[in-house]
Structure 1
């Protein structure tokens, strides 16, 4: 089952508006930032932010829930390479500010990774058509995992989607800047977390214990 189970639905007015934009003589991927698309961008952002439960589609870190600064509409197949897919519902999701900035910089410098295996006229319908993990077709955990903040691709998959996604989105950006810092847990800390999970009557303490045990298992 894919991470995003239901694509966005546009109403008739939105469909007519999109058609008008796409058939205009001045249409290009740069139209995406125009003020006239502000309401549509907001609608898309709010929809996918809710569907994704406030998580970035690529790094899985938290998005801003109210503000727009850390919740950006993303085109999974780059709009600079395939402007005809700019409004395709399954080409849209929401990502964090860092993932967005990295992909935007690639677009500006014309180094945008092409996420499709070959050129398509119509938007692909299956996961195997894409080089990166696609939230509408794939489950993130099938291709990627995190150890102490370090992203690792599960490259037992022949398509190596995990590694491509790490590269395309710069997911190990914190590692590149600060280096790898391994968290070390003592036996006493492990025992305390297990004891709190079993014995505590506080829901908050139980949740904290679960999070600590998860970190230990990943380390």
Structure 2
């Protein structure tokens, strides 16, 4: 993904923030009125760059209503406000993924310098990872194919699509469910895939409501 390049006017605002002392770099600065042009450029850039596709659930929502998209800080502002305007820390996500992820820390370590490699993150990073290397989708069933994919599923609650499809309330984070999805991933023919999908459906039906 191509990171945002700030306009000269917006770069002045970004540089002013990054020149502050660490104790002055507060997460709430993001919401200041004078930062609105920067927020707008970030959202416009990543909506176009990602072609209206959420970096976490991979769902495309083509709409002129930008309120349906959130400017996403991969490392949250609450965890490291100093990376608030770092282009490689930014993307867009759908509202549901953004809410599910919240302020969870997705780093494997916490260096002072911005962590700029894949190894620093426990979820699939939109700038440093290839999504397809970590997650596959079978319709509304999310199938993680790496540990990062599994962590992304948990952090962003990607089983919510399957839960909605099958009329199940709550989260589908369960070893038995993961095993059935694994069988679906290994299917080599359409018949095997259909059988595995049926097994997933049967398994979910047996999950007790909580």
TM-score tier after normalising by the smaller chain length: 0.7 to 0.9
Question: What is the aligned counterpart of 1:149 among 140, 150, 153?
Answer: 140
Query: 1:54 offset after TM fit, Å?
Result: 1.2
Q: Does 1:13 align with 2:9?
A: yes
Residue pairs, 1:1-219, within 5 angstroms: 4=1, 6-22=2-18, 23=20, 27-103=25-101, 106-107=102-103, 112=104, 114-155=105-146, 160-179=147-166
Residues 64 and 70 in structure 1, CA contact (< 8 A), matched pair in contact too = no
- Unpaired stretches in structure 1, ≥5 consecutive residues: 182-214
Query: 1:70 offset after TM fit, Å?
Result: 1.4
Q: Distance in 2 between matches of 1:26 and 1:124?
A: 21
Q: Distance in 1 between matches of 2:161 and 2:127?
A: 27
Task: From the superposition, tell whether residues 64 and 70 of structure 1 become closer, same or farther in structure 2 (CA, over 3 Å).
Answer: farther
Q: Distance in 2 between matches of 1:154 and 1:34?
A: 40
Q: Matched residue pairs, number?
A: 170
Post-superposition CA distance 1:133-162 (Å, at most 9, x none) = 01111110110011230111103xxxx100
Residues 73 and 84 in structure 2, CA contact (< 8 A), matched pair in contact too = yes
Q: Distance in 2 between matches of 1:47 and 1:41?
A: 10
Q: Distance in 2 between matches of 1:70 and 1:62?
A: 11
Query: 1:127 offset after TM fit, Å?
Result: 1.0
Q: Distance in 2 between matches of 1:177 and 1:52?
A: 25
Query: 1:19 offset after TM fit, Å?
Result: 2.7
Which structure has the bigger radius of gyration? 1
